[in-house]
Every structure is written in C-alpha cells, then in structure tokens.
Structure 1
Amino acid sequence: MSRRDLCIIGAGPAGMAAAVEARAAGLSVTVLDEALRPGGQIYRDVTRASEARLAILGPDYAAGQALAARFAASGAEHLCGASVWHIEQEDGGFLLSYSQNGASSQVEAAKLIVATGALEHPMPLPGWTLPGVTTTGALQILLKTSGVVPEDVVLVGCGPLQLLLAAQLVAAGRPPRAIVETVPTANYLAAGKHLPRALRGFGYLAKGAGLLLKLRRAGVPIYRDAQAIALEGDATLEAVRFTSGGRGHRIETTTAGLHHGVVPNQQVTRLMRCEHRWNADQHAFAPVCDTYGESSVPGLFVAGDGAGIRGAVSAALAGRLAAARIAGRPDSVTAPLVQALARDAAVRPLLEALYRPCAQALSPSDDTLVCRCEEITAGQIRAAATAGAPGPNQVKAFLRTGMGPCQGRTCGLAVTGLIAQSSGRSPDDTGYFRIRPPLKPLTLSEMAARDD
C-alpha cells in the first residue's frame, strides 16, 4: 500500500483548491469523493453543464469550471465514487478505508484535509415528511444534475440559498409559486448593526439585492415573518398553511422546499474525536481549528464549510491555506490567504443575524416528527430528557434516534437542541451523537471484497 503525503476527503471548492495548491508544492495527493464528478454541492456537475444550464445557474456556479479544470490538470489522484467509511491514526499518519465500485480499499497519508462541506439545518415542521416536501438544497441538486424544475414549488424558510434557487427558477422559466419567509422584523434590526462591517463585502450585498429585484420583477410573492407553518396533505403534499402579517394563508401546491441555513458536516471530525464547540451565531457545532485549519488532532485539517459556514469563495481560500501550511510554505504565501479569508467573511455576521434559523423548527410541537428514520417525535425526545437522559447518546439508547440510515445527519442538531431546551443547559453541555464507523451504511460484500 502506497503512502501519500496528503489525502483530501471531498472534491468541492475547498478540496479541489487544496489539491491544486498541494500539487504545486510537490506533494503526492489523493482526493476521495463520493460524487462521480468534482464540484461538491456548490459546483455539482459543473464539468458537464451546458451553456443553457450555466445561464440559469449563474456566474457564481460557472466560476467552478475554472477551478475544476485546474484540479483536473494538477496531477492529483482523484478517486471518484469513493465513500470513506473509516479513518484510523497510525504511524504518525492516517489510514483511510473507503468503498468504491462495490469493494473496499485503503490508502495511507501523512496528513489529512477534511473538506466534506455542509448539510442543511434540520427543519422539522408539521408535515415535513410528506411526499412532495424536500429541501431547497435537494431541489437545486435536481436542477444542476438533471435540469429538473418543479412547476408549482413553494419555498419555505430563509437564507441566501432560498433566494438564489428562487432566482434560478425564474431564469428557468418556472418561478416559485411563493416564498414563505420566516425572518421576523426584529432580525432586520439586529442585522443592521453589522452593516458597516458588511460593506467590506459589498459584492455579496449587491448580489442579494439583485436577487430580490429579479424576484420582484417576476412577480414572485414573498410572505414575510411567516409563523405557524404546516405542510398539509394525506398521502402527499397538498398545501402550505401559515400566518403572515396577522392573516392566515393557505397555498395549494404539490412541492415544497424547506431551508433555514446550512451547518458544518461533522461526521468525520466527530469520528476522529476532534474537539467541537457550539457556534451560537451559526446555531451549529464546528470543529476547533487554528488559523490554518488544523484541528485538535495533529495533522488533521478542516477546510471549507465543514469548519464553519463561510461560502464557496472562502472554502477555496481555506483549502489553499491548509495545503500551503502542510507543504511548509512561507508566511509570504499564507498571510495573503489569511487576509483574503477575513475580507470574504466580513458579511457573515450580518447574514447570521438576519437569517437565524426558524424559531418554530428549533422548538417543534410535541407531535412533530424529528427523527424521520425511526419516527420519533419532539415530545418523545423531551420526555426522555425530562426523565434524565443527559445527552443525545442516552436518548439514542432510549429511543433509537440517530440510528437509522441517515445516522443522525438529518436529526442530530434538532435532538441536541431539544435536550438543551428541556434541561436548561447549553448544546456544548449536552453534546452531540457519538459517531462510530462505518461513517456510511456499508454492505458485507463491500467489506469482504477487499483489494488486499
């Protein structure tokens, strides 16, 4: 088994940029990615996007083509369709076990960069498990990979991704039926104090204003400060019900996209027992990393949204910075990257104050399903916490929350939040699910068909 200087998990903007930087410094690099083509979520399928699709998805998406081309020319080994299911520390490095083409293999590396990106924040609302209800991110994936555009979608929640998808649907000729936005008026006041700093990232503010103008010109109705949201239907979604402006509304639809932010994907860093802390501004856990992205586990770096949500531009910068640090590049190389990251992140405090997660979804009613895989309600989780379960792992033992196919990716933060609310403790005190191998469901045949 060959030993690489560096292994990278994920071929999104952070992973691709890290690979390009590391190869330029002469390091041997292997990139493992579950997708069949590079790009991650933000640049998904950008290498085969048609001109028509690029026009719909916009220039920020199209910018991924140049990065993907540099990655392809870098000489880094790219293992596509490779799902990493375990990582071990040994001999001052890391041993990664992964599944590809129905068989398991292993690769060793002196250093490791985790660039697994973000997940959408769980948004448990009444009826969110009905067929026809999905996430905004999932709708955008369908648009990027297959050109599938829903005919009557209602977008529910808040955040830049919500506005971006709505504008992309307008460009595709099928504007959303409505946007049901959960941002309360108080959030605008809270965000206002961050405006002077956010002006350093004026480009992002201009893009947001442009998206809103596009939606207004297309006549897309936006319902502000939506509350008491329910997704109605028997066998499938039939309507979205909510209150806004002191009035009740009911919009008939067969498709709804839910979204109220993204959070770091912490599965790998939790498996490796990296230290994590609760970020109250982003309402999520993130691994504790230094300026260069190195975690509490020596030699393990985290780059991109997996270290904290900052977007695609910052992800690429963070990937380059981590790789430059691993390669021992001088401060003349790393210092400008640190400065660029600070400039690009200037708008984040404003966005985080404005688009805070939906209050109703953070504290769902007792009869709302939270763990979709095991069909566990918010009331059952609250009852387990009241009965003395100190954290998610004990609730898992009581109720099987987090033991289904998603392994807690969908419900993890919601379970932590409910326990924290019920016990009056902070999420840092209640903690998160303990992640164990395999990281993803694995067949016995994949384990048996080892290449050794």
Structure 2
Amino acid sequence: MTRVLIIGAGPAGIRAAETLAAAGLNPVVVDEAARAGGQIYRRPPEGFTRTPEKLYGSEAAKARALHATFDRLVAEGKVTHLPQRSVMALHGGTAHVLGETRQEIPYDRLIVATGATDRLAPVPGWQAGGVYSLGAAQIALKAQGVALGRRIVLAGSGPLLTLLATQLVASGAEVAAVLDTAPMRQQVRGGLRMALARPWVTLRGLRLRAALGRRYHAGVTLTGIESDATGPTAMAWRDAKGRDRRTDCDTVGLGWHLRSDGTIADLAGAAFDWDTDFAQWLPRADPLGRAGEGLYLAGDGLRILGADGAELAGRAAATACLQDLGLPHPDPARTLRRLGRMHRFAQGMMQAFPWPAQMVRDLPDTATVCRCEGISAGDLRGTLPLSGPEANRAKSLGRVGMGRCQGRYCQLAGAEIIAAAAGSAPRDVGRLRAQPPARPAPIGAWLNTPAEGEAE
C-alpha cells in the first residue's frame, strides 16, 4: 500500500487524514503536540476541566467536531498517530523524526501541514524576560489555563491580537491595553473587503473588538518596552494623535498576524515566492496544494487562511494526492470555490492589518533584532559593507537568524533593515534557506541507532 506521511495534526492535517482514510489509505500523522488539534484548537492535557466553550469560544463546536473526527479515525485504526515528535530532516523518501527516540519513517507521498508561527517585529526592549509572542501567551492559556502576567499589555496587529485579548479578559486576567499599530482608516478599507468575502466572520471580529472597550487603541506607534531585573514595567507608545503614552505592566505580548512555517516544505524541495499581500515568502503550489512530485502543502504553511481555510486546504491536498495515485477522490470544485473566498478574505485582512515595515526600518541601532543571538539593528547594518544586501550572507557574517529559532522570528525584520540600508525591497534581499535539523536537537540523538519506525 502507498505510504502517505502527514506532518501536522492541526485542522489541515486532520482533514487530509480523514479524506485519505475515506479512500482506503492509512496515513501516518506526525505532530509535535501531545494531542491533535493544532494551535487554534489546541487541547489541554487529559484531566483539565476547562470546557471547549471556555477554550475556543464561538468555535467550540468546530473544535469538538475536529477532535472527535481524528480520535475516531485513530481508534478505528484508519490513521496512525505519532504525537510529541518532530520531523527534523527529509532525505530519499525518509523522514527523520525525533521524539523520546529517533525514528526513520519511509513515505511515498508527503503532505506538509505544519501551520504558522507568530510574525514578530522588534520593539526596543523586547529582549527582556516577560515579553512573549501572542501565540505563546495563547498556548499557556489554552494548554495550562495560565495568564502569563498580572497586568498585561498586548501589542501588534491582526485578528489574534483581539482574540487573545478577549480570551484573557474572559479568563479573569487584567489586560491593561491592546495596542494596534494598524491605522483605523486602513482597517476600515480592508474590513470592507473582508466583509464582502465573509460577512459573519467579520461581524464576529467586530463584536470581539467592541467587547474590549477603552482597552483598545488603533494606529499607535510602539516606542519601547521598559523593564527592570524582574521583567517589563511599562510599555511606552504614541497614540494616533501623536501623544506620548505609557502603560504600566508586568507582561507584554507581541504579534503581527502570522508567518507561514515553510521549513519542512523547503527541506522537501518546494519553491518559494515573495507574496506582496502577505509580506513574506510563501511556498509555490497549484490550487490543490501540489508543490512537487509527491509533495502536497496545506493549511497556514501554504497560505494563511485561518482554521476554516486550513480544513479546506487539507481536503484539497489529500484530493490532489488521491488524483495522482489514480484513486477515487472527492470533486474538488466546491472546495476550490470556498478556498477562493477565504483567500479574498485574507487579502482584505492583510490590507487592514499590515506588517509595520516602516516601524522596523526606523529601529534605532541599539534595538535588538535577533533575540537568540543578541544582535542589534546597528550590528546588522554594520555587517552590510562585507555581506552586501543578501540575507544568507548577512546571516553568516552577522549571525542574525543563526540562533535557536533559526530566523523564524527575526528573518522578516532583518530583511526590512537590510533592504532599507540598501535602498531595495525585502524580496530582493532573499530568504534564509532552511537546513536540517529543522528544530534544535541534542547531538546524542543523532549518534544513536534509530528505532524501528512505528509506521513501517
């Protein structure tokens, strides 16, 4: 039987597995989490008592359905689930996987549904302990029922900013301010495009925004995070009228929507293009997600279309796989139409909540760009006479993107700074090439003989 490996057990991976199982295949699903669901529908550990309504709000019914579908497929033996494992490398039709032990899992077809990471922009002082990404704060809330602070400031832009703020408020946390760098006029223009594509989703977002009341501020400029030995003490910012403001806090969450995690897709051989709407490098694929011979991409790792779009993309990628195998498959026409609507919504969202390119380009030399390596904007600018305006050479000589995150959180900001200094565009700077291992790993794991793959 054809061996199909799915990397990721979020909405895209689950729907891909469901579609393949319905056609008689038994896919293997590898995921880093202990339980399937992905980030948006992340499940707490067994025994936690918070209800889906508390965890997922208006999306509780969708979360329940998705979890139940995957659990049933696993229980019936139609899907092999390998949780708490990371795919570290791909070579010759074999995935090198690391969990408690190292495994080698062979495959004939690969569906990559690795989702996205937070898209972060540096703010002076963000290297302090107690400054988190919005996604990290949401993981702590969903998985452990923990608010990462007693008085919290959330800053950035995009739907996750509003969603997390309302989730924290509903949990009883004190959210002192929600600071959105997107001007209100731009939000209105993009919001109209969003409403034309998905009116009810847009309305739900407006209701969440309204619930924040006076905590929410649009069109702000973030000037710095003040901190002491214990962590943040205040966020300094400038409001839409240019007035300097300061909000006391002990925790800061930052995030500007999402960045597709293309690491595994890159290792699998996918090509990438700069996407002007999303202001980032995205993998190249056909409408169903084909990205190469036997390679299919789905979910936010392909295009950032949200949880509903990820489910559709998972079905589409599995359909493409079945088509290529000559097996019975669903008619993709309706799925493609719905994906088109999701993409129009996402384009409106990117217009409404843009990446703060100018804010990043204007960073003072003293501001940290790469938190892993402690590299400042001035350090990066000082590298350019030797490296030239090319991302990988700047990484080699200046170490931006060389640390634990491998550029996931500093690559886009680094490209903006390089481009500004060179008088060019970020797309001309290029992207950092992925290389194995895809995640930091202990050397000892690679010195030991790999265990027999559970999927073999």
Q: Distance in 2 between matches of 1:389 and 1:129?
A: 26
In structure 1, the residue matched to 2:437 is 438
What does residue 89 of structure 2 align with?
Answer: 86
Q: Normalising by structure 2, what TM-score?
A: 0.91
User: What displacement does 1:229 show?
Assistant: 2.1
Matched, 1:76 2:82: no
Q: Which residue of 1 aligns with 2:262?
A: 266
Aligned mates of 2:8, 2:359 — CA distance in 1: 33
Aligned residue for 2:207?
Answer: 210
Residues 53/19 of structure 1: CA separation in 2 closer, same or farther (3 Å cut): closer
Sequence identity of aligned pairs in percent? 34
Which runs of 5 or more structure 1 residues have no equivalent in the other structure? none
Are the counterparts in 1 of residues 278 and 347 from structure 2 also a CA contact under 8 Å? Answer: no
Task: Provide runs of 4+ in structure 1 moved above 4 Å.
Answer: 46-49, 329-332
Q: State the partner residue of 1:282.
A: 278
CA distance in 1, matches of 2:223, 2:284: 35
- Counterpart residue type for residue 271 of structure 1: L
Alignment-derived partner of residue 244 in structure 2: 248
Structure 1 CA distance, aligned partners of 2:265 and 2:49? 36
Cα distance change of structure 1 residues 288 and 128 upon mapping to structure 2, 3 Å threshold: same
- Assess if the C-alpha contact under 8 Å between 1:13 and 1:39 holds in 2: yes
- Greater Cα shift, 358-367 or 439-448: 358-367
Q: Structure 2: which 5+ residue stretches go unaligned?
A: none
Tell me the CA shift for residue 65 of structure 1. 2.1
1:164-203 map, 5 Å: 164-188=163-187, 190-191=189-190, 195=192, 198-203=195-200
CA contact (8 A) 1:53 1:147 kept: no
What are the residue-to-residue correspondences of 1:110-259 with 2, within 5 Å?
A: 110-149=108-147, 150-188=149-187, 190-191=189-190, 195=192, 198-216=195-213, 220-235=214-229, 236-244=231-239, 245-259=241-255
Compare 320-329 and 340-349 and name the one that shifted more.
340-349
Q: Which residue of 2 aligns with 1:450?
A: 450
Distance in 2 (alpha carbons) for counterparts of 1:140 and 1:151: 15
Shift in alpha-carbon separation, 1:30–1:429, aligned structure 2, 3 A = same
Secondary structure, counterpart of 1:403 in structure 2: coil
- How far, CA to CA, are the matches of 2:255 and 2:316 in structure 1? 30
Q: In 2, are the aligned partners of 1:17 and 1:320 still within 8 Å (CA)?
A: yes
Q: Which moved more, 1:179-188 or 1:247-256?
A: 179-188
Quick one: distance in 1 between partners of 2:382 and 2:443?
37
1:37 alignment partner, one of 35, 38, 45: 35
Residue 337 of structure 2 corresponds to: 339
Q: Give CA-to-partner distance per residue, 1:179-205, whole Å, 9 cap, x none.
A: 11211245236426xx25732311111
- Partners of 1:142 and 1:423 in 2: CA distance: 40
Alpha-carbon shift at residue 388 of structure 1 (Å): 4.3
Q: Secondary structure at the match of 2:107?
A: strand
Partner Cα separation in structure 2 for residue 63 and residue 47 of structure 1: 19
Whole-Å Cα distance in 1 between the matches of residues 21 and 146 of structure 2?
Answer: 37
Give the SS at the match of 2:232.
Answer: coil
Give 1:330 shift.
6.3
Q: In structure 1, how many angstroms separate the alpha carbons of the residues matched to 2:335 and 2:222?
A: 44
CA deviation profile, 1:50-104 (whole Å, cap 9, x unmatched): 354633530215522211211122221000011111101x3xxx21010121x21
Q: TM-score, normalised by structure 1?
A: 0.92
Alignment CA distance shift 1:143-1:198 (3 Å): same
Q: How many pairs align?
A: 439
**Secondary structure of 1:22's partner?**
helix
**In structure 2, C-alpha distance between the alignment counterparts of 1:231 and 1:65, rounded to whole Å:** 39
Cα RMSD (Å): 2.0
The answer to whether the 8 Å contact 1:364/1:378 transfers is yes
Please point out which of 277, 298, 302 is paired with 2:297. Answer: 302
Q: Is the 8 A contact 2:153 2:178 kept in 1?
A: yes
- Aligned to 2:314, which of 313, 319, 331? 319
Instruction: Give 1:426 deviation, angstroms.
Output: 3.2
Q: Secondary structure at the match of 1:237?
A: strand
